[in-house]
Amino acid sequence: MQASIINKEGVYQFEINGTVYPPLSFRSFRPEKRNIQEFYDAGVRLMSILMTGLSCTLDVPYSLYGEIWKGKKQYDFEAIDRQMQLFIENAPNAFFNIMLQFDTRQWYLEQNPECSNTFRNLIEMAGYSKWRKDVCEYLEDVIAYLEENYGSRIFAYSMFCGSSTEWYTNSQCQNASDGMIRYHPVKESTYRAFTGSPSVRLPDMETLSHTSNGIFRDPVKDAESLLYWHFHHEMIGDTICFFADYLKNLLHDKKLLGLYYGYIYPLPDTRLLYEGHLGYERVVENPNIDMIFAPASYRDRHFEGVSGFLNNVDSVLLHRKLQFHEIDHTTYIAPTKVENGRDIPGSNARLKDSFETRMVLRREFSMCMAKGIGLWWFDFFGGYYYAPELMEEVRKMVSIRNILQAFSMESVSEIAVLSDVESMYYVSEFAGINNDCLTNMYDSLGRIGAPFDLYNFSDLEKLNTSQYRLFIVLNAFYMTEEQRQLVEHKIKTNNQSVLWIYAPGYMDPKGLSLKKMSAVTDMALEEIRLSSAEISGPDGNYGFQRPIEPMFAVEDKDAQIWGRYTENQKGALACKVFPSHTSYYSGTGNLPYTILQRIAQNAGVHLYYEGPDPIYANNRLIAIHSIQGGTVAIHLRKDAQAEDLFDGGIYQSREREIRVLIPKGTVKLFLLKEQKV
């Protein structure tokens, strides 16, 4: 068996033993004959199998097939056989992604009392060499059995660890004593190795939460807490890379590796700083990791939502990895409770009926097709798809994906959205900045009327920025001198535009500087204090959800003021035009889509649609979810023939516009023929 990821016609796909397979897959915590067989009959040929005896955060087993790892060098391989036989019998020509969980078992904790539960507190064990060695021994033995007996059917392995198997630490269990960020001797030993100081102590929570300048940690004054927070995340990333390197060598580079990790958009309040995902830049750069998994955006998955990603998906593609988008939505027939009576996450956001469910499934699929990534349908605890019309929808999506194999796809995005990992170490976890500048912004981005690409700010050097007319920089509060130079040479050029939010470039390794922030934004700024961080803009009021310090106002006579702080009428939303570029600045996040759309229009971005409905597009595809329905005008780059892939019908554009009567709430996906968008 030889499995690899190839770029075929601009889309990453799997090549397994010389045959190309589209990246569409199925998984479930409760696989059984019916759901395996129905997805297989719908044309799905890739399936994921979770093998573990541990319980999930709902205190029920992830898998009903029992534990494999019973003790040191003790295994129940029948637990593997029972599940593999179920899949092979009901999906006879499918290939499998085996998901293995690395977390400490109860027997392991009893035999190694110095260890902690990695499912609750991964950071305490992440760098512990004994735990790493014991996991490697387990992996070597289990994979040897899997390869000997089922190797010809296995194309990938997935690395699961930490809370929710997503490499979280201190997540969903902060109220439990063993889930808190706390002192632990093994953790302190690892921290000393990380810092290179044999006598350094773990800082207490008071030190870790301290900020010297309003919501900001000072790079110099708060160096102790900053060092710890880097350790807290980077050690998780280091552990992932350690296991990836080990497994690729063990598998002789013949199988693919993947994991869940790198969420920056969905984690509100303290979660982004506490839960360990800021170490993902090293992970996405690791050549031994082939796939990154992430669920659909939780905030944006409702019927009126825009759909979205939890991570910077285009940075994943930039580093030549395949992203798998997990569709784990609560369908209208999904169960709401697990076996012990506890509510299943998302049960309070259940889609109300068959129509809503089918349209949201279409929207997620269309977004993935336009982005050129993979997806899997996650039949969570079973029964989410047990309705003929839902499986018919899956069958239709598989058929569409196969049709698209014949077409070359490429991004036509003229908007690049950049978010920064490093900056979030410097912001108080209690300020809500990640809510206002990252999480909440996604809805507005999704309603601009034009596609956009999501990148790590640290990837700016690698980007071909000539494609973009507008850069939206969400949270680049910390910049090195090298990054400032990249901004000057790669963003502020070629008549491009950039929107800066809140405090761009306010910090560097030496400290905080309003002067350097003004240089980044190209506007004279002043630091102010406000009791309410609200901006009165051209399209109503917006602002931070809570008052914070410091705040910044535009004091530049050459800048056009678009909006002012409600409290003191100082400039808060401004534009300044230069021969080489145009700079926009907003003193807060949470900008409404109408402002983003106006900025995009001014920047020369091609708008496919001018209403609030989400659109997804590449050079061959355009999709829209028309919430209100009616006659919709979609603006093309060139005249083309548009084929409705879900419902049938051909539309010929006139003067680069197609007008379509769309029933209320319906998702349409169009394939453009004859000419590109």
Q: How far is CA 50 from the centre of its chain?
A: 21
Q: What is the mean pLDDT of residues 401-405?
A: 95
The two three-digit tokens of residue 484, written as one number:
């400032």
**C-alpha R_g of the chain:** 25
Angle between helices 223-250 and 185-195 (to 10 degrees): 90
Higher pLDDT, 596 or 345: 596
335-to-76, 170, 357, 390 alpha-carbon distances in Å: 31, 28, 14, 15
User: Above 90 in pLDDT, residue 539?
Assistant: no
pLDDT, averaged across the chain: 96
Runs of H (alpha helix) within 514-618: 514-521, 593-602
In angstroms, the CA 368 to CA 13 distance is 13
Residue 179: its pLDDT value, please? 85
Cis ω for the linkage preceding 550 (within 30 of 0)? yes
Strand, coil or helix: 206: helix
In angstroms, the CA 469 to CA 555 distance is 26
DSSP 601-629: HHTTPPPS--SSS-EEE-SSEEEEEESS-
Residue 447: its pLDDT value, please? 98
Residue 172 binned pLDDT confidence (cut-offs 50, 70, 90): low
Select from 3.40.50.300, 1.10.10.10, 3.20.20.80, 3.90.79.10 the CATH code of 3-177+231-404.
Answer: 3.20.20.80
Q: Residues 646-674: pLDDT tens digits? A: 999 999 999 999 999 999 999 999 999 97
59-to-62, 63, 76, 280, 483 alpha-carbon distances in Å: 9, 12, 22, 28, 46
* pTM given for the model: 0.97
Q: Residues 563-584: pLDDT tens digits? A: 999 999 999 999 999 999 999 9
Read off the DSSP letter of residue 655: T
* Of the candidate ranges 7-11, 356-360, 461-465, the one whose mean pLDDT is the lowest: 7-11
3-state helix, strand, coil in the chain (%, to 5): 30, 25, 40
Residue 173: its pLDDT value, please? 55
State which H helix or E strand residue 404 sits in: helix 388-404
Domain parsing of the chain, residue ranges: 3-177+231-404, 415-602, 628-673
User: Above 50 in pLDDT, residue 676?
Assistant: no
State which H helix or E strand residue 329 sits in: none
b/e burial code for range 148-183 (CB count within 10 A of at least 16 → b): eebeebbbbbbbbbbbbbbbbbbbbbeeeeebebee
Residue 349 binned pLDDT confidence (cut-offs 50, 70, 90): confident
Percent of the chain with pLDDT over 70: 99
Residue 677: its pLDDT value, please? 46
Residue 460: its pLDDT value, please? 97
Read off the DSSP letter of residue 50: E
At the second CATH level, the architecture of 415-602 is 3-Layer(aba) Sandwich (3.40)
Q: For residue 98, which amino acid is it?
A: I
Residues 6 or more apart from 187 whose CB is under 8 A from it? 123, 124, 125, 202
Q: Are 477 and 502 within 8 A, CB to CB?
A: yes
The two three-digit tokens of residue 78, written as one number:
């029948």
**Residue 585: strand pairing partners:** 500, 574
Taking residue 18's Cβ as centre, other Cβ atoms within 10 Å add up to: 6
Residue 175: its pLDDT value, please? 61
Residue 538: its pLDDT value, please? 83
Short-list 108, 148, 158, 435, CA closest to 293: 158
Q: Are 661 and 631 within 8 A, CB to CB?
A: yes
Q: Are 28 and 21 within 8 A, CB to CB?
A: no
Residue 675: its pLDDT value, please? 55
In which order are the strands placed within the sheet that holds 3-8?
3-8, 11-16, 19-21
User: Above 90 in pLDDT, residue 464?
Assistant: yes
Short-list 97, 104, 115, 103, CA closest to 46: 97
Short-list 93, 25, 674, 670, CA closest to 404: 670
Q: What sign has the CA pseudo-torsion 49, 51, 56, 60?
A: positive
Residues 6 or more apart from 597 whose CB is under 8 A from it? 447, 448, 449, 607, 610
Residue 662: its pLDDT value, please? 97
Q: Parallel, antiparallel, or unpaired for β 374-378 and 24-27? A: parallel
The two three-digit tokens of residue 675, written as one number:
């000419």
Q: Residues 122-167: pLDDT tens digits? A: 999 999 999 999 999 999 999 999 999 999 999 999 999 999 999 9
Q: What is the mean pLDDT of residues 380-397?
A: 97
